[in-house]
Structure formats: structure tokens, C-alpha cells
Structure 1
Amino acid sequence: MTPSPYFSIIIPTYNRVDFILNTLDTVFNQQYTDYEVIVVDNCSTDNTLEVLQPLIDEGKIRFIQHDKNYERAKSRNTGMQNAQGEYLTFLDSDDFMYPDNLLDAYNYAQQHPDKKVFHNLYELVDEDKKVLSKYDFQPLTDPVRQISEGNFLSCIGVFVHRDIYQNISWDETPVLTGSEDYDFALRLVAAFPAIGRINKFNNGVLDHPARTINTAQLHKAEERFEYFIKKLNEDEDYAFFGKYLNKIKATLYIFLAGMAKEAHKLPKMKTYIRMAYKVDKGVWKRRNFQSLNYHYIKKKLLKN
């Protein structure tokens, strides 16, 4: 019987033929090699299958193709359902692992066997892996509060033990696409609040024009957050957060205010700033809220 790999790496993809080989190269160049790669293709219309066929034939990747584009949440669920690893991690098909990613994760898991969920840091990079910006990770002192105020986990560099990933799934509701990672991260913390951290930048998020966040639309975000907030109010999974539920709602409104800013929609920006403050008076302490509020006041004064 073939022993299970220590890590399962789940890579959802859709029409990313220009990126996925670079992503896979960063996996194949890992210092630690006890892993499996599961690529879940959402029925790409480019030549993804043709390009990946040699890797499939060599057994370097397991390839699962959906019959249509179900979006990333279902792809990640499909990956988890087929994973055999002790730990599982997600990697988008345009992002990177740095060479020590899995080795550091293995060592951390050996040294902290009680940590069923842990993560490393990630940064924004260009195609040459030149750092464009480093995300600001605050010390991990209160994961429950901190995830309520923003998704520091994202869906990269997170390692989830089999005991957890076999009992949790991504919300496949189409309208949530674009925020399914925050929903999953929140429920991941609810399942295992004592999240661990490797304080090292071991992943790169590739910045490019087709990146999802760069093509996001305000009206789509408004639709999904309407669903998200309804879920916060009704889904039993979120009862865990108790007093922090309003902080999560404020986080969503801050995000919408930021999108309204980028869309130059001042009245909507004002609305979402006010809604964030209404649900969580403590939101004024957050730097992103202060920045948005200052921008709104400045624009309003200039307009008058």
C-alpha cells in the first residue's frame, strides 16, 4: 500500500495556461518533497489540459477536470475530497511557493503537533518574484478578533490538518464568489481558534491585470455581501463569533467603502463608512477605516 503524502497541494485553475507552469515549477522546486499536487480544472477553454498532459503522464500531478466552470469554491472542495495528505494547503494557479515553504511547514508541524491549522506569510510580487509590497501582518495575539477585522489568512500559505479539512468545506453559492475565501477562513478559525503561524514570507501572490481583485466590480461585491451578511445572521457556524459578528460586518462594509472609493462613488462611500460605524463603534480605531474616512472628508470639502 502506497503511504499517504504528508502534504496535499490543491490548485484550482481556469484559463490560466499562461501562469500555471510557473506556479507548478515553484512546487516542484520545494526542498521538502513528500507531497501530492491536485490540479482541479474548471473546464478551461484554453489549452490547459494539453500543456499539463506531460506532467499528468509522468505522475507529477493528479488532474481532475470539472464538466463546467463551477468557480473556485467547488474546485477547492473537489481537491479536499480527493486529498490524501496529513496536511492540506491551497495554491492559486498564478501564485508561488518559495523553496522552503513545505520544509518550514513540516518542521513547524513536527514541533507543534497540537496545531491543526497554521499559516505562513505572503507578499505581492511580479512575474520575476520581485517584491512589490509586503502585507502588514500584526502579531498573532488573538486570531478570533483579528480574523473578524480582516482576512489575514487569505487562501495561500494556510496548512490544514486532515482532522479539520475532512470536516469543513467551501461555500459553493455562486453569488459569494470573490469572498468565499473570507467565509472559509472565518469558519476555519471557528473550527480551530488557536491558529499557529510561521513568521516567514514563504509565498508570493502574483500581481497581474487578470487577477480577480483587479477585476472586481462594486455592484457584484454589494450582491455577495448582502448574501454574506444574511449568512452571518442565520448560519449556525457563525454563532461561535458572538460579540465579534458585528466586527465582521464592519469589515465587509469597510471593503465596500474602499471599492466605492476606487469607483469614485462618493455617496456610496459615505453610506458604507456610516454602516461600518453603526454596526461597530470600535471600527474608528482601525487604520483602513480612518484612511477611508479621511479620504471622504477631504473629497467632500474639496467638492464644496
Structure 2
Amino acid sequence: MSIPYVREIAVEYGRCDQVSPLIRRVTADNPGPFTFKGTGTYIVGRGQVAVIDPGPDDPAHLDAILRAVQGETVSHILITHHHSDHSPLAGPLKARTGAPIYGCAVAPHDDDDDHAGGVRMEAGHDLGFAPDISLCGGGQVIEGAGWTMDAIATPGHTSNHICFGLREENACFTGDHIMGWSTTVITPPDGDMTDYLASLADIRRRRFDVMWPTHGPPIREVDAFIAAYAAHRQERLDQLTTALKAGPARINDLVPRLYADVDSRLHPAAARSMLAGMIHLVREGALATDGAPGPDSVYRLV
């Protein structure tokens, strides 16, 4: 099943766009291979507002957010996760508005998954991210004047990823958990395929009418999109088990075979993604390896 990507979006950096009755969006000028057109910061409500994913530490973007909420009170700053295109501006925004920061802190890992063989895997980590109010585990209800949001724990892309469900519009702010323009990067140790697939199913069960990713346009055919997203992940996992029918192999043996049509400079990045799949399949009992699954392990079918 091919993913019905949604990529059409008109962006003018610094402009505030009213995108639904309760939602405005200001896009940061940080386009790139992991941010698409840039970080879309959402402002929810009128008068007393929440700001979701203020974005990178960019003074121009901070000024744009403050212009958009001029005359209003920012009562909540909500963070989906700790990547540097989402959370660093939370501190400066708090300093200017006094609003508390909501989110889930993450413990740093010994492994650096920002780089793999010279290939940048993400936009970087904001390891100093420290929310004032923890949403770890999800289940919290966050309320303002005329709006109500549910914090939904969605680990997978990162261990601390949170989505926010806006009850009044049956909408979900999905951060990087589900994006219309691309699949989501999942790289160990902080990224986890098992968690990701479970979180994806959780969001699907909630039957939102629209999803608002931090990067790119909204997704309005929600169920069909999530189904295709999940099917794509399963196809990748099936490729691994099929390839291992030829015999035990290491990830570095499989990447050139399964990604023959991909620029070889991106093969180290593909290897990190493949590792997430291997770890999941070992947990599921489909594959085995000696010791803990890792990038240099020899994998075999069970």
C-alpha cells in the first residue's frame, strides 16, 4: 500500500495563518531534509492561548510568535518532543510570557543517533529540555479558555513523544509521530519500532477528524493515511525476514541489497532504520541473534 502523502502547503515565514476556527500556525524559517518547509508552531485558542512546538532557538521566529499573540495571554507552552526543531524556543518564549512549559523530559543516551557514518539522522537533540509540568505517560487534560487538550503518550520516534488531542475540533497535533510529507525517522537507542507501532495504533483508534503535524500540511483522510503508514512499516519488516531466508546476515550485508536503488551515501542512515526493525523482530520472536541485537549482530530467522 502506497502512502497518500500530503505535501501542498503555502508558507510565508513569520506570517500567522488562521488554519481552523481555533488554530493558527506560524512557520519558522528552518526548511530542510528533516523539517520540510520548516517548523509549524501552532497557537490554539483566542485570548488565552496555548503554543505548541515553538521551534528552534530563532529570535526572528520568537518575534513572529509574539506578534501573532499580541494582546493575548500565552497560558501554556506544549512540547511534543525534545528535538532541536521543536523545543529550544520554549525557554525564551517562557521568559517573555511567563507561561509554564508542558512536556516529557528524556534521559540522554550514551549512543549519539544524530549522526551515523556521517549522515545526519535528525535535526538534533535538545538534551537540556526540562518541562515545568511533566506529561510523561500521557493521560493528562490541559484546559484553557474555550479549548481542551488531551496529552497522549506516543513513544517511538523518541521515547518522550507526546501528541495533543484538541477535543473541540476532534483534531490531533501529531508532532513528528505522523507527518503528511514523509515517513517518521526511528533510530535506536531513543527511537523504538515496537513502541512506534503501538502508538500508531493508539492514535488510529481515537478516530480524529484531522491531524496537524509540526511539519507540513494537515492530514484529513486520517484513517486511510495511518493505515498506509502502518502498512509501509510492515512491508519494511517483511523485507527483512524475506532477505534472511537466504541465510544469516548482518545489517551491513543487507543494506546494499535492500537499498540498491538508494544513494549509497544514505546507506548508513538506512542501517540505523534497519536496526530499529531488527530489534523489533527479535522481540517478536521472528528473528534471533547472539546477545543483544545491535548494528554488528548476525541475525537469523527463527
Pair in the same fold by TM > 0.5: no
Q: Provide TM-score, normalisation by structure 2.
A: 0.31
Indicate the structure with greater helix content. 1
Greater relative CO, 1 or 2 (CA 8 Å, sep 6+):
1
Q: Provide TM-score, normalisation by structure 1.
A: 0.30
